Structure 1
Amino acid sequence: MNLNYLKIFLLTIILTSQVSCDSQDENDDVKTKASKAFILKPENFKDYVDKFNTMEGENIVQAIPNDSSLNWMQENIPLFETSQKSFEEMFYYRWWTARKHIKETPEGYAITEFLVERSYADKWNLISCALSHHIHEFRWLHNRDYIDENVHVWFRGNDGENMEKLRSFSSWTAASLYDKFLVDQNEDYLLDMFPDLVEEYEAWEGDRRRDDGLFWQYDVKDGMEESLSGGRHVKNTRPTINSYMYGNAKALAEMARMKGDEELAQRFEKKADTLKQLVEEKLWNPKDQFFETFTENDTCANVREAIGYIPWYFNLPDENAEYNEAWKQVKNEEGFLAPFGLTTAEQRSPRFRTHGTGTCEWDGAVWPFATSQTMTALANFMNNYNQDIVQKEDYYQLMDLYVESQYYRGRPYIGEYLDESTGYWLMGDRERSRYYNHSTFNDLLITGLVGLRPRADDKIEVNPLIPQDQWEYFCLDNVLYHGDILTILWDKNGERYNKGKGFKIFRNGNEIASADSLKRIVSE
């Protein structure tokens, strides 16, 4: 063989071998993503996935089919186990169902709300109503492309412009993207979205802000049709959109500071301060001790609805003993506490459940959408306010009801809404309702029940809202947070995980904090 040909031949072998090794390294890295978990093993939840896969005939398939669900979950999700297996099963079920809604579009990944086609959806069957719920839930995946690209599709997927129906529903997207930043620390992504979010805020100001500075919205455009306080065609001043706009303004102020634009930050702080004052002055009903809807005639609707808790979703209300009284109603069986969860309107109202069934009523039935908002607000109230009204036992009871409500015929199920007394899903066996992606659960478990509180600084704060003697053990593992892998565990006797007794936090496998009891820990 010619010497030059021999050299080329040998060089080709070496380069091919190197490419093969690099490719193998990449494949190994993909395969070992889930092995970053410190305590739990991905194979521990395989039986759940096998069960879920056999519960259905998979008639609608999007980006990740059932036969790929296990691998996808192993590569992407936090891991969880506890001595109360219903919580554990529901945790994996909700990841399994969320995966069904990931869709590939020409503009990138998108996330659907319904699997079946809806006539009022935008391109690719997308609906913006639950976008912020999707952001909060998907921010915990290891691959953030799913949620990052979904947001880009909504804001830039229409030839570089907003999707036509981006603002078909009220939005707290800016606040949610800032909350996502508190988990992933992706400042470049957040600030790249900043101009789009400012433009969206100004658009809402242009067509929904009243002369007095408050915002109005149709119930149906809040995603809350047929409520007791309004209707589909009335321009009511609701706690929903006004709280959302407050949260968005606070988030945009933080983003402006990150960009070094203090003048713009102050402008959005002023907008937030104005809304805070107006909500407290005009939407608080001192007789009912509740934030309530005001009608387009500026009269109070005089009915407590779950949307009155949304101000706390954004920490809007002042530290005020009078405002705190509102939370007594989540423990009151004449208020919102029902056998199968939190109702969307108070049960003492003579109008409770007066709108029939099967047409998207928000007149008292239990909606996971509203439960998600109320439980997020409640976790904020318990973490950020000085109060003695709601205890860990109360939060746990409500989460337990939420878990138990998500069953149908003895199997895990998530649909649109359910009867508060029987637990029957009011859309029954309608295909449209199955796997309804319109709420959060895993975000509530991570940030509320287990209590990982996302922060902008490098401190790790965990405040479990689990009663001390409720569970023998729990472990939340493989949590990608600020670029590290966190493990949070409770081992009452020290025999489950062999890491000693008590409450412990690990970062990348190294113990960074511990306590004898389930209490707030802030690790330096």
Structure 2
Amino acid sequence: MLFLNRRSVNLILGKSFIFLLVHLLCIPVTSAQSYDEELRRIKEETRKGFSENLREFNSYPDRPESDGPFNRDNVEDFLRDNIPHFISSDKDFTKVYNYRWWMMSKHFRLWKDPEDHKDYWVITEFFGWPAHGSISGAIPCPAGHQFYDLRWFRDPKYLRSYIDFYMKGYASRHDQREGPNFHTHIRRPESHHFSSWMIDGTEAFLKIHPDNPWRNGLLPYLEKHQKVWDDTFTVRKAGARTDGLYKVLDLYDGMEFTISATLPLIESDGPYAIYTEETWKQYYLGWGTIDNLRNSGHVKKFPEAFANAYPLVYLVRPSVNSYYYGNLHSLGDLYALKAQESGSETDLSKSEHYLQRARLQRDKTLSVLWNGADEFFYSFTAADNAYGVKDKMSRVRESAGYTPWYFNMIPKGDTTYDKAWDMFSSEKGFYGKKGMTTAEQQHPLFNEKAYAWNGRGWPFQNSVVYKAYANYLRNYKGEITASDKELLYDHVKKLVSLHGEESNIGEWYIPGSGSEFGGVKDYFHSTFPDILIADLLGFTPSHDNSFSLRPLLPGNAWDYFYLGNIRYHDHDIDIIWKKDWDTDRKGDQGAMRVWVDGKLTAEAASLSDTITVTLKDKPGF
């Protein structure tokens, strides 16, 4: 048996007959056949386990009904035909992975646009028709996470249609409707009601399902989408520190009642003088406290300083400034791909324009938001706020400060910002006994009990930070240690445990003592399949006709895993890792093996190795 022990195993399919012949001759036919038999066996085991899990999920009482056509009668076939299949020696991981796809299937809704009369697949966050949702019921706040999970679906039509809805459909053409719980004076389309990174998410989708004609037709709409962020949410105050950066209410960043907003409220006078060290909990610590402020009569005195009793303190946050770096960089990447195909100088010029804008956005964000003394990315109040302290740093570490790594925003080789990750493993920072916190635990205003983003755990942020940490390890840290991998695995395993015996994903959890999620059940506001596939197991897609595998799974965590039925660049990918392929032989015969279109193609003896596979184009691809 041939084991390729190099750090990177590069196989080019269909390029060299001699190379392939040598490779195939080095693998005994009997071994190749036995590996194929193991693939067939584990596929059947995965199928049976999946069916058992779905029968259990469908039996859960008191769960929301599906928002669309997929229900307990047809969901098994729908998911089996579309999702990457997974099984591992850890039954909890396997069950939660299957549960999350089952949960997602309930959020598919086919919605007809009343103007263009087209049917769009949309993906809901809350079930039903929430008052703060778009006319379709979908909400843009979790769209980036939804894109990253659903990009792995075999049939790309669902996510392609959902992207079209936000970029070209009703949501892109009409302002967000006013409702009883809206808190804004800024008009913008439904697609921009909350911050998001949809353009980056679209590029992530295209790395798995390339579609040049669709991409080229969509690009002008992606540009228009970003222009709304540029025109509406850019700080404009010449000479100010935050001038030119992006701003947002913490509420419309999907993270209401943050410490980074509380601190400037306490420090401000005028309309916000009502917030003091003694009173802020009464007026800014969950939705019930907003009612307290509204009922006090104070809001009526300063109508322009509040929107439905929510204070209009716009923040320049690490989150949104990373999101729009990601969007700008993706526009540059996608126009570069178009230019390669078209040879157009216009396309090339647009690519260079957006990549340059992304670099400027990166440099400004790193320069302004990084605090060298505290070694973390902080939020600032926007310099052009109408009321309250302006252009002022909020000195609190929040999990949103890790967002730059989600988008690989840090320049390669720059170790200036590495120390921020010390807080990821610290009980003074974000490391909770039951899960990650959203604010540093040593801060005086930390509070995990309130329905707020000032300490309580919210899976939305777990999804951001776990990918950010995985990117940091793979793309920035010189040497990945066993303890680095254990830390990521520990965090993800705690997230798995919070799903409970009757699997459920909710809105929030208590990091210090919680045993399960609270709030709405079967809630689609975060990722899990993408955490497992891309972050933990290291399947890295690309625009090139290739992919790589570089797992961060600790070597002793599982005895085996299978990840397969992945549709990638019009090919089918299956992966098996086993700690011991031959229990009759002394020692562990560990290896990770990859099949492409049913043919054993690549292998490595260690989970620490990187496997890179370059695919042969299919006719007409």
Q: Please say if residues 38 and 508 of structure 1, whose CA atoms lie closer than 8 Å, have aligned partners that are also in contact.
A: no
Aligned equivalents of 2:526, 2:507: Cα separation in 1: 9
Q: Please say if residues 324 and 387 of structure 1, whose CA atoms lie closer than 8 Å, have aligned partners that are also in contact.
A: no
From 346, 353, 360, the equivalent of 1:274 is 360
- C-alpha displacement of 1:160: 8.1
Aligned equivalents of 1:514, 1:365: Cα separation in 2: 42
RMSD between aligned alpha carbons?
2.1
- C-alpha displacement of 1:365: 0.8
Matched, 1:53 2:58: yes
1:135–1:426 Cα change, 3 Å: closer
1:66–1:188 Cα change, 3 Å: same
Aligned equivalents of 1:477, 1:384: Cα separation in 2: 25
Hey, what does 2:544 align to over in structure 1?
457
Query: Deviations for 1:235-288, whole angstroms, at most 9, x for unmatched residues?
Result: 111111110110011100011122221111111111111111111110001111
TM-score by length of structure 1 reads: 0.87
Which secondary structure state, in structure 1, belongs to the residue aligned with residue 573 of structure 2? strand
Query: Deviations for 1:353-381, whole angstroms, at most 9, x for unmatched residues?
Result: 17x524xx100111100000001111111
Hey, what does 1:251 align to over in structure 2?
330
Matched, 1:324 2:418: yes
**Aligned counterparts, 1:62-461, within 5 A:** 62-106=68-112, 107-158=119-170, 161=173, 164-211=189-236, 212-230=243-261, 233-260=312-339, 261-296=347-382, 297-318=390-411, 319-353=413-447, 357-358=450-451, 361-388=452-479, 391-407=484-500, 410-423=501-514, 427-428=518-519, 433-461=520-548
- C-alpha displacement of 1:481: 1.1
Matched residue type, 2:206:
F
Matched, 1:523 2:606: no
Percent identity between matched residues is: 30
Aligned length: 478
- C-alpha displacement of 1:501: 4.2
Aligned equivalents of 1:78, 1:115: Cα separation in 2: 25
Matched, 1:44 2:65: no
Query: Deviations for 1:122-177, whole angstroms, at most 9, x for unmatched residues?
Result: 11212111111111111111121211111212233329836741101112111110
Matched, 1:478 2:569: no
Matched residue type, 1:342:
M
Which secondary structure state, in structure 2, belongs to the residue aligned with residue 332 of structure 1? coil
Which secondary structure state, in structure 1, belongs to the residue aligned with residue 595 of structure 2? strand
Matched residue type, 2:403:
I
Aligned equivalents of 2:254, 2:216: Cα separation in 1: 28
Aligned equivalents of 1:78, 1:162: Cα separation in 2: 36
Matched residue type, 2:101:
W
Q: Please say if residues 396 and 467 of structure 1, whose CA atoms lie closer than 8 Å, have aligned partners that are also in contact.
A: yes
Hey, what does 1:510 align to over in structure 2?
599
TM-score by length of structure 2 reads: 0.74
Which aligned segments of 4 or more residues in structure 1 are displaced greater than 6 angstroms? none
Q: Please say if residues 173 and 248 of structure 1, whose CA atoms lie closer than 8 Å, have aligned partners that are also in contact.
A: yes
Aligned equivalents of 1:138, 1:311: Cα separation in 2: 22
Matched residue type, 1:140:
W
- C-alpha displacement of 1:56: 2.2
Higher RCO (CA 8 Å, separation ≥ 6 residues): 2
Aligned equivalents of 2:201, 2:353: Cα separation in 1: 20
Q: Please say if residues 538 and 550 of structure 2, whose CA atoms lie closer than 8 Å, have aligned partners that are also in contact.
A: yes
Q: Please say if residues 171 and 190 of structure 2, whose CA atoms lie closer than 8 Å, have aligned partners that are also in contact.
A: no
1:68–1:347 Cα change, 3 Å: same
Unaligned runs of 5+ in 1: 1-35
Aligned equivalents of 1:83, 1:159: Cα separation in 2: 43
Matched residue type, 2:229:
W
Hey, what does 1:18 align to over in structure 2?
none
Hey, what does 2:302 align to over in structure 1?
none
- C-alpha displacement of 1:55: 1.1
Aligned equivalents of 1:248, 1:40: Cα separation in 2: 38
1:349–1:388 Cα change, 3 Å: farther
Matched residue type, 2:199:
A
